[in-house]
Structure 1
Amino acid sequence: MPKPTPSLTLALLQARESAMAFFRPLLNEHGLTEQQWRVIRTLKQSPEATLESYELAELACILRPSLTGVLVRLERDGYVQRWKPECDQRRLCVTLTEQGHSLFEAMSIGMMRQYQKIQYQLGADNFKELMALLRRLQQLEP
């Protein structure tokens, strides 16, 4: 019987869990879920100050139906603002509020500290190579 090959998808999930262990305490400290943080970070790092909901879902790797609930909670907590442009009521635009920008800034130092811990434990060259390999994997055609 042939030996099973290692599972790439399982290894990626396990690696994600290992990486998230560095960040979850900070997210919990600020009362955020991983998805909420991805939305805040994506909006903050977007060249445009505003994203349409479908763009945000794609960039933050959140399914569109799930994004609706995430945005409702973030808006309730004052971190994002959602609106429909008058010229096209089918579109839904999202932007960070001042409170959302402040939260990002407040969390940035702690998040950067955690990235530095990962980089230190993995080694700077290995970290750089890992990120390059992950970018190449993202670009593969199925």
Structure 2
Amino acid sequence: MRKFNDSLPLKLLRTRDKLMGYFRPLFLQYELTEQQWRVLRALYEYKELEPSQLAEYCNILTPSMTGILNRLEQAGHIYKRKGSEDRRRFVVGMTAPARDLFDDLSPEVEKCYDKMRADIGNDKVDELSELLDQVLERLDSLED
């Protein structure tokens, strides 16, 4: 068996944790978690989504998504409304204040990316991103 530190999933987790270190302090200033930010990013781009779609897009387990959505709703960042086709289902969208928050926070997030790229190197970040895209595409094709 390979050595503990040679585990690819562990390396990916450690890398993710270190990369998120660039963003966590900013999110904490705005009283957001990483997961809440992912949800807001998805809603900013897609406008309204069902919770199951959000869970898939944001790579968050459905049971966890319920709590995240409840906290975002309590903070006034999202609204929930019944679906137009199936009244038993609901969709989630961003409130106007949350859109303003997103607009304010986005340039700061880009500064975090700039710092990360400066520390790691643009070429390495681009190379890693492309390699991860290729691996994901390959793994997705195996599921079909």
Query: What TM-score, normalized to structure 1?
Result: 0.91
Look up the SS of the partner of 2:56 in the other structure.
Answer: helix
Match of 1:89 among 87, 95, 100: 87
SS where residue 22 of structure 2 aligns? Answer: helix
| Change in CA separation of 1:121 and 1:84 when aligned onto 2, cut-off 3 Å | same
Q: What's 2:3 paired with?
A: 4
User: Cα RMSD between the aligned structures?
Assistant: 1.6
Cα drift, residue 89 of structure 1: 2.1
CA distance in 2, matches of 1:124, 1:16: 17
The corresponding residue for 1:76 is 74
* CA-CA distance at 1:86 after TM superposition: 4.6
Q: Which residue of 1 aligns with 2:110?
A: 112
Question: Equivalent residue for 2:18?
Answer: 18
Superposition deviation, residue 45 in structure 1: 2.2
- Stretches of structure 2 that go unaligned for 5 or more consecutive residues are none
Report the counterpart of residue 41 of structure 2 in structure 1.
41
Once residues 58 and 76 of structure 2 are traced to their aligned partners in structure 1, the CA distance between those partners, rounded to angstroms, is: 19
Q: 1:49-100 deviations in whole A, cap 9, x for unaligned?
A: 2111111110011111111111111111111111112531232201111011
Structure 1 segments, 4+ long, off by >6 Å, are: none
> 1:67 and 1:96 mapped to 2: Cα distance?
15
| Structure 1 residue runs without a partner (length 5+) | none
Aligned residue-pair number:
139
SS at structure 2 position matched to 1:127: helix
Counterpart residue identity of residue 137, structure 1: V
Q: State percent identity of aligned pairs.
A: 40
